Amino acid sequence: MKRRRVMLVAGARPNFMKIAPVHRALAARSSIETVLVHTGQHYDEAMSRLFFDQLGIPEPEINLEVGSASHALQTAEIMRRFEPVVLDRRPDLVVVVGDVNSTAACALVAKKIPGVGLAHVEAGLRSFDRSMPEEINRLVTDALSDLLFTSEPSGARNLRREGVDPRHVHFVGNVMIDTLEAHLPRARQTGAVEAFGLAAGGYVLVTMHRPANVDDAAVFDPLMDALARLAADRPVVFPVHPRTRPALDRWRGARQELPAGLRLVDPLGYLEFLDLMAHAQLVLTDSGGVQEETTALGVPCLTLRPNTERPVTVDEGTNELVGQDADRLLRRARAILAGEVPRGRRPALWDGRAAERIADVIEGWDGTPRER
């Protein structure tokens, strides 16, 4: 029997946690041959290489090395470099994950090449906020995909509303939680909590990198001022995404002195970050993945956005949206630190086995492209 060739694409930090279990599950199937492609959208050691090492992802066969640029240029450059790879390797299926520029760019390339199928892992999520670049990437990718793998019930609902035939939609659960489940013991072994001089359950962990929060000083500075005030109550650890660094340096330059409790550090490895997340009293974030991971861990999370494409984390998990209002953030954070802790449960199929379900569907797929 001819083996089916599946090309997997990853490009930016959150893609690596998603592609790791999917690659492992597919590579273990004798009927499938895998080809791993890195677009190079993220390229710093701490934004890329570290995750391949920590998550045991094999060296990509192809690295497109696109680097940073404006949306249009980055998307165009990924497409220009990815097309010859697909034409050369002729995969039966291209698998893309998440909602970054690499996801949409490679989806568009794959779908225009006859005989190549397209699968989207994390399909159907919608913030209904088209000012977010990720929402555009989600809409484009789902419009084109032959196989749509959803992580939470809202995914199928949104796709049905957009007219997608439900036969193409597969509720498989959350691959990010596969990675979390597989790495929790190793995360603890890093001793990151102690290495930062923190007490388990006694600190706040922060991430912030959305353009809407960091690109405008009128939004970013009050949020940072609120974090500085919170640091008087509890240690606040903030691993700073490279996109956030210039805004942070500007904010810091205008302040006389930072509170000792505010720890601004470089981006962390997955294992160290997971250890800090699992033992935090509270997480503040605008990340998509971190909203899901805190729900899986049962750790309170305040999301610095007016909306979320991951509503199950609010409806069933420990997530609460506080928007971009610094006063509200401070009020809600203090309430949680004072013991007003949200009760949550783990959403259905966030059980560590999502990638195996994806591999089952891909193995059984008859190769018929989606018609509408």
Q: Rule CB under 6 A: is residue 29 a binding residue for ligand UD1? A: no
Site for ligand UDP in 222-251 (CB under 6 A): 239
Q: Rule CB under 6 A: is residue 212 a binding residue for ligand UD1? A: no
Site for ligand UD1 in 104-123 (CB under 6 A): none
User: In this complex, which beta carbon is closest to ligand UDP, that of residue 264 or of residue 333?
Assistant: 264
Backbone angles phi, psi at 54, to 5 degrees: -70, -35
Q: Rule CB under 6 A: is residue 17 a binding residue for ligand UDP? A: yes
| Structural contact between residues 143 and 165, judged by C-beta atoms closer than 8 angstroms | no
Cα 228 from Cα 208, distance rounded (Å): 14
Q: In what order do the strands lie in the sheet with 93-97?
A: 62-63, 32-38, 4-10, 93-97, 117-121, 147-150, 169-171
**Contacting residue, 18, 38, 42, 138, with ligand UD1 by CB under 6 A:** 42
User: In this complex, which beta carbon is closest to ligand UD1, that of residue 50 or of residue 204?
Assistant: 50
User: In this complex, which beta carbon is closest to ligand UD1, that of residue 68 or of residue 368?
Assistant: 68
User: In this complex, which beta carbon is closest to ligand UD1, that of residue 12 or of residue 32?
Assistant: 12
The region of 12-20, 59-67, 211-219, 306-314 touching ligand UDP under the rule CB under 6 A is 12-20
Rg of the chain, C-alpha, whole Å: 20
**Contacting residue, 89, 157, 229, 243, with ligand UD1 by CB under 6 A:** 243
Q: Which residues contact 229 (CB under 8 A, 6 or more apart)?
A: 330
Cα 196 from Cα 193, distance rounded (Å): 5
Residues marked as catalytic: 209
Cα 344 from Cα 303, distance rounded (Å): 15
DSSP 3-state percent helix, strand, coil across the chain (nearest 5): 45, 15, 40
Q: Report which DSSP code applies to 15.
A: H
Contact set with ligand UDP (CB under 6 A): 13-14, 17, 207, 239, 267-268, 270, 273-274, 287-290, 293
Residues forming the site for ligand UD1 (CB under 6 A):
12-14, 41-44, 47, 68, 99-101, 133-134, 209, 241-243
